[in-house]
Structure 1
Amino acid sequence: MQFVDEAQIFVEAGRGGNGIASFRREKYIPFGGPNGGDGGDGGSIIFVADANLNTLVDFRFTKRFKAQNGQAGMGNQKTGRAGEDLVIHVPIGTMVTDLNTQEQIGDLTENGQELLVAKGGRHGLGNIHFKSSTNRTPRQHTLGEDGEARELLLEMKVLADVGLLGLPNAGKSSLISAVSAARPKVADYPFTTLYPNLGVVRVSAENSFVIADIPGLIEGAAEGAGLGVQFLKHLSRTGLLLHVLDIAPVDGSDPVDAVHVVEKELEKFSEELAGKDRWLILNKTDLLLNEEADERCDDIIQRLNWTGEVHRISAVERTGTDELMQKISWALIANKTKAIEEQE
């Protein structure tokens, strides 16, 4: 399935039905009076978050959506039928923005959550409403109102507790494969990950969290180079970032430089994202002897002057991954508890 995380569409709610001017006409009742009915309301357009969808690809070719108009009123005080609402299913994590006003209409973060994006037009009134003691035969009636019409930007941002970032071939896909049931493509060449992958990490029967892997970043990503920058927004909802680092690159490059490249691109993309809690994950320790791996890791930490969390793992050998996931679980629980306390 093609991964599409942005789409621009046009939505138009239904027009309200017109009220009518009508008079009662029955035998032996020459002056029956007005009996024009109201029109029906126009149909609205409603988005519904659907857990079965994970891309906005359905909106790539279908870009215009129109709800049903309300029916006009009828004689004998009969109200016209209301237009049916148009329900459109979108992936969980979809943000909806009005392109003309830049107003954020809503953010669909839970399965089944509904969002009204275009309200149907109000119905017109029949002449029965204009009858008075001084106007026994009103011919006034009102027309139905137009429904709302909007140009919308749909942006899908994956919902994950933890996000993985790093240069291509740092081992992010191997890590998410090792700790969850996700099976992204893993190979020994750059950009094997072409779109975000999600995996559920189950630490215990009662405790789990979602981890997201995005394509690797390269220098110049903020200016459009590579693939990762267009997916960085998917990490904006995460509570914790894992900076995965290859401690023994096959090209002989300096791992410390690799950290600086990613940090630089994060800062260019978003100060908020760059300021998120970030742990350093020193990966591929299995490629070196134990003593050499320890020396390499200590050197990297010292030269980076890293004061935050550091974990040494081998995603391929699954060394240290269980301990890392347990530590992440504790950190997420602590963060949620702190957030609840601050709200209270």
Structure 2
Amino acid sequence: MAAANFSYRKVAFCVTAALISCVLNVFFLEKLISAEKNSSNLITASGFLLIAIDGLIFTSKFFTVKPVVPLRHNALLVFIFFLSNLGNNLAFKYHIPMTLHMIFKSGSLMSSLLLGALLLKRKYTITKYVSVVTITIGIILCTYASSEQAPSETAAVTNIKYKEFIIGLSLLLFTLFASSYMGVLQERLAARFGKHPRESLFYNHALPLPFFLFLHKDLAEQISIFNSSEPMEVPLIGVMVPYLWLLLACNAFFQYLCINFVFQLTTECTSLTVTLVITIRKFLSLLISVFYFGNRFTVLHWIGAGCVFGGSAMFTELHNLLLSRKKKD
């Protein structure tokens, strides 16, 4: 009984910590994007660097631990991972609201099913296909609602924003399918070499770091903007730090915690439980984006979001998970 109670406490802690850290990660990301929308490359680079440093110390132990999966087999995965993360944050630069960004990322089940059927030749139930159609309709509704022009804008400004919106939308579509294709590659590697998530996490973030050298001019410009932002006192420490650097540090720190707690959750719970936690996190982040940051969210947005989250719940059969959990309790 004591062991069971300990297990429940550990799971409860992991769920709570994952929800809090992941929601705060998105919260500080939105604050940062709101303050400086052109900071996407610096945000991506800082996240990669922090996780790579952690992996260098605790996973590879300064490269003294030989990787189980040969690095040459990770080359394509690492490159796609880099482009996916870069495009994901770059989309904010092209008038993609945080709300649409969240909803698009929630549509990963759709792209995963399509690639699973095409590349892995998997068969899915009718329920899965219905859920994917529901998710697709939700994304289309939210995209249409987000593309509507503001009444106060002139035709010229609207035309420019619309073109940039299309670029941002293309980036989101690319990252959606790129992330799902990464899942296919990871599954193939796992079938051959076994599952090594910590190792994969480290090398996926460490190996792309030299690619950021190609973005050195943009990064240097962003660093200059961050340095010149208004100083702000760090709570508890009392040190004055430029405001944008403080936001970036909070974003990177909570991203690091989010990834680690979700990883711990995967070792303690079933994949469906993890999916449920991630879905709740996305919904909480959406509510914060709408009500705290005041992002425009029309009735059409809510209908679309309902389709996306409802379709996700149908796809992962969360109702069965909740029923089985209730019976166990």
TM-score by length of 1: 0.21
Structure showing greater Rg:
1
